[in-house]
Amino acid sequence: MHEHAAHGHNGHGSHDHGQALAETLDLDALLLGSYLEEAAEWAAGIAQTTPRTILDVGAGTGAGTVALARRFRNASVTALDRSAGMLAATRAAAAAQGFTDRVRPLEADLDGPWPESATADLMWASSSLHEVSSPERTIGGMYAALNPGRLLVVLEMDSLPSFLPADGTDSHTAELGLESRLHAAMAHQGWNAHPDWRGELERAGFHRAEQRSFNTMGRPLPEPTARYAANFLGRIRTALSGDGAPATHDTSPGAALRAQDLAALDALLSGAGPSSLLHRTDLQVRGRRTAWAALKA
């Protein structure tokens, strides 16, 4: 993802694809991965024929690749990503599920020419399309490489994930509304910005663009949830500390954060104290994804 996007499933963007990002992607898959199974089942119902070849565009650590290989048992799945490290993680995830013979990696940068070998009956782009420098060009490449009559599925996060109790508690009153204000500040920086892709897909020549939302609720696993929250909110804190942080004189909606908000965020990220994420058992990941499915004429 782009530096400001902070989160997603592809690991395709311009920032460092290091261990921290890989861990965040793996935690997202562990806690919220059930929506991938739902989306794959939804895609299977729209596809006019059962796909034999699938391309996961921006595979990251392989959660989508594995979900597709599991749902479409007779298909070969190509995992495309610009990061060799992410592709190694995808191979490991596929091997752990017994899919080694049906999953192959393809290292490619979507900001360059579309790879000639990247053709498929089903293309799947989860949290990757909004990251490329020219989505119009990338969608055009997808359309040209997709076999006639076959399906493209695009997935995006509707909003950044939330972790804290929605109503707060007596001992954590400083957190009331905190995540909403943090998300607004990050939206001001352009995090997770993406359009409704239906128009772009139709202009590229796709038709029957359907849309569906998937609510995501994390599994009740306190320790992984706490680590995910610490990773994600830590990235927000880093962004707020950088040159792109909302200026104190900026009064536009979502731009201003109160000093006490930053103090509350620092308390969450500290290793000590009752507010520390690493000592909490009341956290749960919540969010929503939207999927667009479009057929090539």
Return the structure tokens found at 31.
């806690």
* Calpha distance 7→163 (Å, rounded): 14
What pLDDT digit, counting tens, does each position of 184-210 carry? 998 888 787 677 899 999 999 998 778
Long-range contacts of 239-243 (CB under 8 A, 24+ apart): 239/4, 239/6, 239/186, 239/189, 239/191, 240/185, 240/265
Q: What angle do CA 67, 118, 90 make, to 5 degrees?
A: 35
Dihedrals phi, psi of 201, to nearest 5 degrees: -65, -45
Average pLDDT over residues 141-157: 95
What is the structure's pLDDT at 234?
Answer: 92
Tell me the pLDDT band of 249, cut-offs 50, 70 and 90: very low
Tell me the pLDDT band of 13, cut-offs 50, 70 and 90: very low
pLDDT at 82 over 70: yes
Average pLDDT over residues 162-168: 81
Average pLDDT over residues 118-133: 93
Q: Residue 272, Cβ neighbours under 10 Å: how many?
A: 9
What is the structure's pLDDT at 178?
Answer: 92
What is the structure's pLDDT at 171?
Answer: 54
* Calpha distance 113→270 (Å, rounded): 44
What pLDDT digit, counting tens, does each position of 46-77 carry? 998 999 999 999 999 999 999 999 999 999 99
* Calpha distance 297→280 (Å, rounded): 51
* Calpha distance 179→77 (Å, rounded): 37
pLDDT at 8 over 60: no
Tell me the pLDDT band of 146, cut-offs 50, 70 and 90: very high
What is the structure's pLDDT at 273?
Answer: 85
Q: What angle do CA 175, 181, 182 make, to 5 degrees?
A: 90
Average pLDDT over residues 274-296: 91
> Regarding predicted confidence, which is higher, 73 or 33?
73
* Calpha distance 79→166 (Å, rounded): 37
**Mean of per-residue pLDDT scores for the chain:** 85
Tell me the pLDDT band of 250, cut-offs 50, 70 and 90: very low
What is the structure's pLDDT at 151?
Answer: 97
pLDDT at 251 over 50: no
Nearest to 129 by CA among 39, 1, 290, 289: 1
Write out the E strands in 65-181.
76-81, 103-107, 120-126, 146-157
Percent of the chain with pLDDT over 70: 86
Tell me the pLDDT band of 247, cut-offs 50, 70 and 90: very low
CB 213 within 8 A of CB 270: no
Tell me the pLDDT band of 18, cut-offs 50, 70 and 90: low
What is the structure's pLDDT at 142?
Answer: 95
Tell me the pLDDT band of 16, cut-offs 50, 70 and 90: very low
Tell me the pLDDT band of 32, cut-offs 50, 70 and 90: confident
Nearest to 99 by CA among 141, 63, 135, 123: 63
What pLDDT digit, counting tens, does each position of 201-237 carry? 999 999 877 899 998 888 889 999 999 999 999 999 9
Conformational region of residue 168, where left means phi above 0, alpha means psi within -120 to 50, and beta covers everything else: left
**pTM, 2 dp:** 0.83
DSSP 11-43: --SSS---HHHHHHHHHHHHHHTHHHHHHHHHH
What is the structure's pLDDT at 259?
Answer: 86
